[in-house]
Structures are given as structure tokens and as C-alpha cells.
Amino acid sequence: MQLLDGKKMASEMKTEIASEVIQFKASGGKTPHLATILVGHDGASETYVSGKVKACHEVGFKSTLVRFEVDIPENELLAKIVELNMDDDIDGLIVQLPLPPHISERNVIEAIDYRKDVDGFHPVNLGRMVIGMPSYISATPAGILEMIKRYNIPTEGKSCVVVGRSNIVGKPVSILLSRKGYPGDATVTLCHSKTLNLKEIVSQADILIAALGQAEFIKADMVKEGAVVIDVGITRIKSSVTKSGWKLIGDVKFDEVAPKCSYITPVPGGVGLLTVIALLKNTMLSAKRTIYP
Ligand code: GUN
């Protein structure tokens, strides 16, 4: 069993992006600039957003954080998005999710200029991804693909089972792994809460992607010997042992599943750490006008 080490990959990729920024600026390019909007004070969102801001500074990007109180009216938030869309210095614009219930996530995502949608959530980017055109790929699917590539994990003809059909992970990653070329050409099955015989389907997987958001749902008796297991789950539970008072648990019961795997991601230290890197890579692409010249 080999660990898919997100921590090592993230640190290598940050070094690569930092030198790309230096080269880009040396050849007359601008400083890549990511703007993040955070509404309210949700604990997990605060942690993710501060991770994004810190990562920007580490690789030499500019970062702007716009904060609103939880009761901001939707039209004020949309007006700010329009303003940031028009700001030529800003290459990437993201609104941290989830949003409070009185704000429509769909209206917000559609208000972001798709050319700055480095989260890859806008229907234009998702649609382009589906038909194989260049687009911003959202952070978690991009992190999963990067991990598969860096560890040279074969995907062609493999049986890949994705558990969870969210718009930001399950759906896009299942489409990406079934696309032509590497890392793709897999035979993908997308399972969800209404799937019958889930255990039987999951246990056929050469590559298993667990993205359902239920702590330790995948047990050893559901996993094929020699499978590659990628755990996207991050459930936060209270802990008296850690300094932060929180502990992260994956969707896979790691201790019993790991001995059966050829490769497995730990939680924490797996895919989660790559998501911020994917966001930086998309912002770099935007600064270089690669996807949308
Ligand atoms: N909330 C959880 N994951 C994400 C993400 O990748 N982007 C944004 N904007 N919000 C999130």
C-alpha cells in the first residue's frame, strides 16, 4: 500500500507556481490576483478562506478578501460581484460557499464573469468541460486528476466508481475520468443515495472515489483487493485531543481499508490540500489568458 501524499504534492506544486509567477512577471506579465468574497462567519469557511489567502501570498499572488455580514441582501452581493468582474486587475473571483439561505447560490455563481470563474462552477465552464473544451476545472476534481497523474496511476479501461453526485465533486470527476485520453478512458459508475446494491458496485472498483460526505462510510468489505482509493470526505468532528478543537474524518474507514489498497489518500493530508493549489493554478491560467484569450 502506498499513500497518495497530498502534503508533499501541494508543497511541490506551490514551488512550481511560485517560479511560474517569477518567470511570468520577468517577461512582462502582471501579478496574478485572486479576489475572494466571504459572507458570514461559518467556521469551516473561515478556515478555507484563510488557507486560500495564505497560499496566494506564498506563491506571490495578490489577494483581495471582501467580507460581508451574514444578512447582506442578495442584490448588494451581486452588485459587488459585478464591480469585481469589471476590475481589470482581478484575474480570479470566487464566492465562498455555502451561502446563507436567503441568497441564491445559482444567481451568485451565474453573476461571476465565467472568464474569472477560477472555481469552475459557472455553467459555461461546466458545459465546456463536458464537451472537452478548455475550461476552468473545479478544485477538487482538478486535485484528484493531478494526484492520479503524478503517481502515474493507470486509468484506461479501469472500473472507476464515484460515490456522491455533487455538482462540485462527484458529477465533474465522473465526467473527467470518462473523457478521452489520460487521465480518463475509465469506465465510470456514479453512485448516489438511491443506488441499489451499492456495496456490490463499489467492490468492483479499480479506482474508488468517495465523495458522499459521510464519515467512514466505506468499510474494508466494500473495497476490492489492490484498489486505488481516493477519499474526498472531510467531516469536522469535535476533538479534545487536537489544538484546534476539531478533527477531520474522511468518507473511508482508513485503518481497515488501507491494507487492501494499492494506493490510498489519507485524511487529512490527501486531496483536501490540493484544492487550494488547483485554485492557484486556475488563477495563473487566468492571468495568462490561457483559457479565454
Ligand atoms: N466551499 C467548499 N468548497 C468550496 C470551493 O471549492 N469553492 C468555494 N467557492 N466554496 C467552497
Domain co-membership, 104 together with 166: no
Mean per-residue pLDDT for 215-228?
98
Ligand 1 centroid distance, CA of 231 (Å): 17
103 is a domain residue: yes
For residues 115 and 149, state if they share a domain: no
Q: What's the gap in Å between 204 CA and the centre of ligand 1?
A: 31
Q: How far is the CA of 224 from the centre of ligand 1 (A)?
A: 31
Cα 119 to averaged position of ligand 1 atoms, centre (Å): 7
Q: Is residue 96 flagged as an active site residue?
A: yes
> How many Å apart are CA 47 and CA 275, to the nearest integer?
13
Q: Are residues 96 and 172 in the same domain?
A: no
118 touches ligand 1 (CB under 6 Å)? no
Contacts of 52 (CB under 8 A, 6+ apart): 34, 36, 63, 94, 276, 279
Evaluate if residue 244 carries a pLDDT over 90.
Answer: no
Range of the domain at 261: 139-272
Q: CA torsion angle for 254, 255, 258, 259 (degrees, to 10)?
A: -170
Nearest CA to ligand 1 atom 2: 97
In-domain check, residue 134: no
Give domain status of residue 31, yes or no: yes
Quick one: what percent of the chain has pLDDT higher than 70?
100
Judge if 77 and 150 occupy the same domain.
no
Do 226 and 257 share a structural domain? yes
**With the CA atoms of 184, 189, 193 and 195 taken in that order, what torsion angle do they form, in degrees rounded to the nearest 10?**
180
How far apart (Å, rounded) are the C-alpha atoms in residues 92 and 104? 21
Domain stop point among 122, 153, 173: 122
Rounded mean pLDDT, 241-251: 91
Residue, of 39 and 245, whose pLDDT is higher: 39
Q: Look at the pTM and tell me if it is higher than 0.75.
A: yes
Q: What is the pLDDT of residue 103?
A: 98
Catalytic residue among 5, 52, 206, 253: 52
**What average pLDDT score do residues 161-167 get?**
97
Q: Let me know: does 267 contact 234? Beta carbons within 8 Å.
A: yes
Residue 221: active-site member: no
Q: Report the pLDDT value the prediction gives residue 8, as an integer from 0 to 100.
A: 97
Average pLDDT of 25-53? 96
Q: How many CB atoms lie within 10 A of CB 64?
A: 16
The mean pLDDT value of the chain amounts to 97
97 in ligand 1 pocket by Cβ < 6 Å?
yes
Q: Say if ligand 1 is within 6 A of residue 96 CB.
A: yes
> What atom of ligand 1 comes closest to residue 45's alpha carbon?
1
In a domain? residue 10: no
Does 173 reside within a domain? yes
213 Cβ closer than 6 Å to some ligand 1 atom: no
User: Are residues 143 and 117 located together in one domain of the fold?
Assistant: no
Report if residue 70 sits inside a domain.
Answer: yes
pLDDT tens-digit series, residues 62-117: 999 999 999 999 999 999 999 999 999 999 999 999 999 999 999 999 999 999 99
Q: What is the number of domains present in the chain?
A: 2
Tell which one of 52, 97, 138, 281 to mutate to probe ligand 1, the residue whose CB is within 8 A of the most ligand atoms: 97
Residue 209 cell numbers, joined? 472515489
What pLDDT is stored for residue 235 in this prediction?
92
Residues 87 and 174 in one domain: no
287 falls within a domain = no
Smallest CA separation from ligand 1 atom 6, residue: 139
Q: What is the CATH number of the domain that holds 226?
A: 3.40.50.720
Q: What is the CA(36)–ligand 1 centre distance, in A?
A: 11
pLDDT confidence of residue 227: 98
CATH number where 95 lies: 3.40.50.10860
Judge whether 73 lies within some domain: yes
Under the banding of pLDDT at 50, 70 and 90, the label for residue 175 is very high
Q: Are residues 187 and 112 in the same domain?
A: no
268 and 151, same domain (yes or no): yes
What three-state secondary structure class fits 210? strand
Regarding the beta carbon of 119 and ligand 1, being less than 6 Å apart is answered yes
Q: Which of 5, 80, 91, 96 is catalytic?
A: 96
Residues 153 and 256 in one domain: yes
